[in-house]
Structure formats: structure tokens, C-alpha cells
Amino acid sequence: MTPPTPTPTPLLRGKTVVVSGVGAGLGHQVAAAVVRDGGNAVLGARTEANLAKAAAEIDPDGAHTAHRPTDITDEAQCEALVALAQARFGGVDAVVHVAAWDSYFGGLEDADFGTWQQIIDVNLLGTLRMTRACLPALKANRTGGSVVIIGTQSAVASPSQVQQAAYAASKGALTSAMYSMARELGPHRIRVNTVLPGWMWGPPVQAFVTFTAHSEGVPEAEVRARLTERMALPDLATDGDVADAAVFLASDRARAITGQSLLVNAGELMR
């Protein structure tokens, strides 16, 4: 008689994960993956309605989610989100940083450095604020904790299709900060890693493809083919693929991984 196949332990069973930047795209997918894999997701973003909608879709009975409007440029709001996680679920095991300002386009010659400063305040300093707010709770875990930063492939290789110099620079600085944090927090068994998505099929890229196709008068399939032609795999990575990578790095299965950047890009750039 064949013995029964053991049921695998969910990656995040009993874990509580703070997720910043939960909207319709990647943040939603990360929070959904946390709950799917047995964890509790504490959702933060600036808009209450978006949070409530995401929580209802991810966790209809509300047993494994909590949410609070959070602007990561405000330290007190970051601390309040962590306090919610502790009050509702007893602690914090990981934080996944999705919140970012990624809608400003252009290069150096046309740069508005006032806007650049705001982008840096959100993408770099905001992520650091949220991380620092989580530190007391993460340090309280005897088995350690995890910080997962969502970066961008643009931080290491500029795309030819669009110019996002400010976004790339802010995320590049954050990747550099990751190395220092990994060394500083390692003695507390807190791991710090970055996921670097390339072109990622989800609401923002779908909108880009639709807009470009309409502007040029070509089929959307042609625009999408331009994005995939340089990739080793024939399909774009999706929001869900990036969320799965983040969940893995948040889990104990990545307990010996820190200070690393993981490209999730269908092989467009290999390092």
C-alpha cells in the first residue's frame, strides 16, 4: 500500500506580515499570497477604500487580515500600522515593502529635482521609516524576522522603452541600503533582501501596453511582443510571480539568505 503523501507546511503558517502599498496591483498580490500561504497580512496604504476592498477580496471573513491607512512618509503612521499588527496578531514576523512612487517619468535633462526629492522621500526614506518602525517587533522574535524590499530591474539596467531616472535612482539607493541593513540587523536574525522585478504583467504594465498600442495604432500583442523579445522565457513575469518570490524570502525557508537581490524578469537581464 502506498503511504499517503505528506501535506506540505504552508510557507507562512502562523506568521504575521506587514505589507505596505496595497492597492490593485502587486501589493494586493503579495497580501493575497501571504494569506494563501497560511499567514496573517497587515495591509497599509494611503487610501482606506482600497485597503477595505483588498482585505474583503483576500480574506472575506476577516480572520487573517487587518488594515490601516498609512503614509510611509509619516513615521507615526508607520508605527501605528505596526501597533495594529501587534494588537491583532501578537507580533510581526516580516515586512514586505511595496509602497512606491513610480509614476514620474523623464531623465536628467528635464528633471524637476523638487519632485525627485519627494520620490526619494517615499521610495528610499519611506521604506526605511517603515522598516525602523517594525524593528522592535522583529527583534522580539527569537527565530528572527525578514525584511523584503520590492526594488526594480531599472536600478541595475535602465530600460530602453521608458525613462524613469528618479524612480531607478531611489530604488538603487534602497538596494545599496539593503546591504548595510543586512549587516546591521543580522545579529538579531533579521534578514534583509530585495526582489527586482523587470517588466511585470499587472495593472501598470497593462495600462502601458494599452496606451502605447492606442498611441501608435498597433495591436496590443505587438507592444507586448516588444517587451518579451529580449527575454529568455517567452512570457512576462506577473505580479503573482513577484509576490511568490517575496513570500519565499519572508518565510523560514529563506532563513540563510540575506543581503541578496533576486531578479524576477523572465530572464531579460541575467547576473
Which residue numbers are catalytic? 167
Whether the CB-CB separation of 172 and 156 falls below 8 Å is answered with yes
- Residue 179, amino acid: Y
The b-or-e profile of 63-98 (16+ CB within 10 A means b, else e) is: ebbbbbbbbbbeeebbbebbebbeeebebbbbbbbb
Three-state DSSP state, 44: strand
- Residue 236, amino acid: L
Three-state DSSP state, 48: helix
Cβ-based neighbours of 19, under 8 Å, separated by 6 or more: 27, 30, 31, 34, 41, 42, 43, 44, 95, 96, 98
Cβ-based neighbours of 202, under 8 Å, separated by 6 or more: 25, 26, 29, 238, 239
H or E element, residue 36: helix 26-36
Nearest to 173 by CA among 186, 155, 157: 155
